[in-house]
Amino acid sequence: MASLYKMPVSNLSGIGAKRAALFGKLGIKSVGDLLNFYPRAYEDWSTVEKIGQLEYGGTFCIRAVLGAPITDSRISGGRIISKGLVYDDTGSLQIVFFNNRYISNMLKGGNEYFFYGKVTVDSFGMQMVSPTFSPISDGMRIHPVYKQTSGLVSKTISNAVRQALALLPKEINDPLPDNVRSVFGLCSLRQALNDIHFPKNRDSLDAARKRLVTEELVVLNLGMRNLKNHSRGKSGVQIKKDYLGEFETFLPFTLTNAQKRAAADCVSDIMNKTTPMNRLVQGDVGSGKTVIAASVCYTVIKNGYQAAFMAPTEILARQHYETFSKLFENTSVNVALLTGSLKESEKESVRKELAEGTISMIIGTHALITDKTEFNNLGLAVTDEQHRFGVAQRAKLLAKGENPHLLVMSATPIPRTLGLIIFGDLDISIIDELPPLRKPVKTVIRSASQRKGIYDFIRREVVEGRQAYIVCPLVEEGELEDVAAAEEYAAELMMKEFSDIAVGLVHGQMKSDEKDEVMKKFVANEYSVLVATTVIEVGVDVPNASIIVIENAERFGLSQLHQLRGRVGRGKFQSYCILINDKSSQVTRERLEVMCATNDGFKIADEDLKMRGPGDFFGERQHGLPQLSIADFADTASLELSQKVADYILFKHKDIYSDELRLLRTEIDRLFERGGANTLN
Ligand code: ADP
Ligand code: MG
């Protein structure tokens, strides 16, 4: 079996070196790859319609006789058009092909075929243009449709898969043990492989998919749990004394109970422990996660170690640097900043002091994890806005010390089912309480035609001393165009509507010192209005800002809108979020209305997951999870089932190192290797 899986596809008949290279382009090198190359869609040929019943515009499968041989004729541009008339006992329809000189050989007059395609109409009546077809002897089936590449069509792939399946023995080893399969009603791997490619009907396809999806999620689930239990050795960091109480005396406010709980969780993770902390602090935007991180950093530093705090953007790193510097003003903690935009000489001197240990608290961006950065004795690594970092980056920061403690912070509320997997390797503290005196942000939807009224409203707030963000429309072509649009938007405002109001502009293409300059001015209320692209999405904290206007709100995901909205409502003022919706569609409206109905990030995340899938939690950002081949993070039901199956497996087999789980373990390794994440060892 194993050797069959590894056999190169070129050993299959009909696949020479050239074709094998094309398969390679799709990531298919071996027979195993081929079997795991699941169809991207299916054509349902199992329900055959009568020609008399067809509706224009629909895609159907018909069973019909080709009346007379296909006729070829030449049309403009030297193209060949091939036509034929097919009929069943209810009517007839024309089939049309372009530039396919083999059609008349493949379809014979007087023979009966299945035809599958979209039904259109022209002056001659009903037709199918370029339908796919197969002889009646093929039977009524569901046909797989594979992702193709230039020179390699779905049909060729399907032929190869058919050969590969024929080579498989009747019974093959199954990573899911029999007992597990029978308890959860999952079919065998052999059956599933067969039916995912060539299902007899809908039911067999569903069963195959259920089995494969469940297996993949179980493998991921167990792999993540294993990372948590085994991935890290003993920590050399010795935390003997708790400095939380002392830290609290620096604060201008008292911690909320939820903050106290989270900080206490962290301290109990690290006090007199040899296993390193792996904790996620999850709390909605504005819930006050930064001080929790600061409190743990303080404890670690006072015990003689260094702490590192990594933020995803320069703006955010700079802001945290200022917060920390202020907090630790009258202490022995030496705070420094390390970001990519510092001058080379500045970076060098920070790195030197870091390696020597004179800097005890370092705040920075990805610059912290480059090879050049060394620590003297890193005791704690903190990552802010975890969804912006991958598991691999987290691991890189940890590698800067000897199994230092890890604290990750996330404002992205992830639905529980998904969180269990994504953060399967972390313990979780949830901050479910906002600091006192916060007024919930009022959210409204407006159309572009109401913009004038919105500007008047901003003006009134500005007169009161407040500030506003305006998030510019995203022009979808790319970042440079977004920036151009933002520049234009800001220029227009400065010249016309807000010619007497200080307007700033910040976007992702600016140099970081320029960005910093603008942000500093906004923080100091030297700008009343800040026009921005989504660079302000994460973390930025200006409590005096009370309005955020989001242009083209319909182009954002709900979770992203929620993050953006989190830029206001951070102080004692009533704040407003104005979503400008340029689309009149009902679906969009409903989606945006979720924003008006709730300020609860978790509810929004659930809605988002239902409506858009998990893309918004990860986007194109690297989340560090393995790439899934069939399962889908948005499929809550399967996530739940896989959780149960994984629990059951661990209950029955103690841990994944038991012999019955040998094959499953191989699958875990395979999945995690593919994703570039850690593997088992
Ligand atoms: P986030 O959880 O989004 O990272 P921050 O840590 O930036 O939130 O905190 C948001 C704001 O709330 C900051 O201005 C911070 O100083 C303030 N804050 C945090 N905790 C409290 C508290 N317990 N009482 C009052 N204000 C607080
Ligand atoms: Mg934050």
Q: What pLDDT, in 10s, does the model give residues 277-329?
A: 989 898 887 889 999 999 999 999 999 999 999 998 888 898 899 999 999 99
Ligand 1 close to Cβ of residue 578 (< 6 A): no
Strand partners, 49: 62
**Hey, which of 291, 297, 412 would you mutate to test ligand 1's pocket, going by the most ligand atoms within 8 Å of its Cβ?**
291
How does residue 677 score in pLDDT terms, banded at 50, 70 and 90?
Answer: very low
Q: Give the CA count within 13 Å in the CB-facing half-sphere of 111.
A: 16
Distance linking the first and last C-alpha atoms of the chain: 24
Kindly give the distance from the C-alpha atom of residue 385 to the centroid of ligand 2, in angstroms, as a whole number. Answer: 7
Closest by CA to 471, choosing from 371, 569, 547, is 547
Nearest ligand to residue 385 Cα: 2
Kindly give the distance from the C-alpha atom of residue 280 to the centroid of ligand 2, in angstroms, as a whole number. Answer: 13
Closest by CA to 678, choosing from 474, 445, 391, is 391
Kindly give the distance from the C-alpha atom of residue 359 to the centroid of ligand 2, in angstroms, as a whole number. Answer: 23
Protein residue with its CA nearest to atom 18 in ligand 1:
288
Protein residue with its CA nearest to atom 23 in ligand 1:
255
- 285 or 414: whose pLDDT is higher? 285
Ligand 1 close to Cβ of residue 289 (< 6 A): yes
Q: What angle do CA 386, 254, 524 make, to 5 degrees?
A: 70
Q: Around ion ligand 2, which residues have CB less than 5 A away? A: 539
Protein residue with its CA nearest to atom 24 in ligand 1:
435
Q: How far apart are CA 299 and CA 279, in angstroms?
A: 16
Ligand 1 close to Cβ of residue 288 (< 6 A): yes
Amino acid at 306: Q
Q: How far apart are CA 550 and CA 534, in angstroms?
A: 10
> What is the percentage of the chain residues whose pLDDT exceeds 70?
91
Choose the weakest-confidence range: 127-136, 234-243, 509-518.
509-518
Q: What angle do CA 429, 430, 436 make, to 5 degrees?
A: 130
Judging by beta carbons within 10 Å of its beta carbon (0-12, 13-18, 19+), is residue 579 exposed, middle or buried?
buried
Q: What is the pLDDT of residue 1?
A: 58
Q: What tokens does 132 get? A: 């796919």
Give start and end residues of each alpha helix (H) in 524-619: 558-565, 586-597, 601-612, 615-618
Q: How far apart are CA 302 and CA 334, in angstroms?
A: 11
Q: pLDDT tens digits, residue range 187-223?
A: 999 999 999 999 988 899 999 999 999 999 999 888 8
Q: Is 96 helix (H, G, I), strand (E, B) or coil?
A: strand
Q: What is the pLDDT of residue 627?
A: 72
**Torsion of the alpha carbons at 328, 330, 333 and 338, rounded to the nearest 10:** 50
CB 309 within 8 Å of CB 323:
no
Kindly give the distance from the C-alpha atom of residue 368 to the centroid of ligand 1, in angstroms, as a whole number. Answer: 25
Q: What is the mean pLDDT of residues 660-669?
A: 88
Q: What is the pLDDT of residue 620?
A: 36
Kindly give the distance from the C-alpha atom of residue 492 to the centroid of ligand 2, in angstroms, as a whole number. Answer: 32
Q: What is the mean pLDDT of residues 54-69?
A: 93
Ligand 1 close to Cβ of residue 657 (< 6 A): no
Q: Where are the beta strands (DSSP E) in 151-296?
A: 278-283
HEC states along 452-498? HHHHHHHHHHHHCCCEEEEECCCCCCCHHHHHHHHHHHHHHHHHCCC
Q: What is the pLDDT of residue 231?
A: 61
Q: How far apart are CA 364 and CA 384, in angstroms?
A: 10
Q: What is the pLDDT of residue 391?
A: 67
Q: What is the pLDDT of residue 619?
A: 42
Closest by CA to 376, choosing from 328, 334, 341, 316, is 334
Ligand 1 close to Cβ of residue 543 (< 6 A): yes
CA–CA distances in Å: residue 307 to residues 232, 311, 406, 538 = 19, 13, 10, 22
Per-residue pLDDT at 498 exceeds 70: yes
- Chain-centroid distance of CA 672 in Å reads 17
Nearest ligand to residue 289 Cα: 1
Closest by CA to 468, choosing from 449, 485, 481, 455, is 455
**Hey, which of 255, 407, 541 would you mutate to test ligand 1's pocket, going by the most ligand atoms within 8 Å of its Cβ?**
541
Q: How far apart are CA 646 and CA 669, in angstroms?
A: 16
Q: What is the pLDDT of residue 223?
A: 84
Ligand 1 close to Cβ of residue 283 (< 6 A): yes
Q: What is the pLDDT of residue 230?
A: 59
Choose the weakest-confidence range: 335-339, 486-490, 513-517.
513-517
Judging by beta carbons within 10 Å of its beta carbon (0-12, 13-18, 19+), is residue 465 exposed, middle or buried?
exposed
Nearest ligand to residue 291 Cα: 1
Q: What is the mean pLDDT of residues 89-103?
A: 91
Q: pLDDT tens digits, residue range 441-493?
A: 999 999 989 999 999 999 999 999 999 999 986 655 566 666 778 888 899 99
> What is the percentage of the chain residues whose pLDDT exceeds 90?
56
Amino acid at 295: S
Q: What is the mean pLDDT of residues 57-72?
A: 93
Nearest ligand to residue 252 Cα: 1
CB 48 within 8 Å of CB 140:
yes
- 661 or 607: whose pLDDT is higher? 661
How does residue 680 score in pLDDT terms, banded at 50, 70 and 90?
Answer: very low
Q: What tokens does 525 get? A: 């209320």
Q: Is 177 helix (H, G, I), strand (E, B) or coil?
A: coil
Which ligand 1 atom lies nearest to the CA of residue 259? Answer: 23
Q: How far apart are CA 390 and CA 384, in angstroms?
A: 12
Kindly give the distance from the C-alpha atom of residue 317 to the centroid of ligand 2, in angstroms, as a whole number. Answer: 10
Quote the mean pLDDT of the chain. 88
Q: What is the pLDDT of residue 480?
A: 66
Q: What is the pLDDT of residue 444?
A: 96
Element spanning 72, H or E: strand 71-75
Q: What is the pLDDT of residue 616?
A: 47
Q: What is the mean pLDDT of residues 588-613?
A: 82
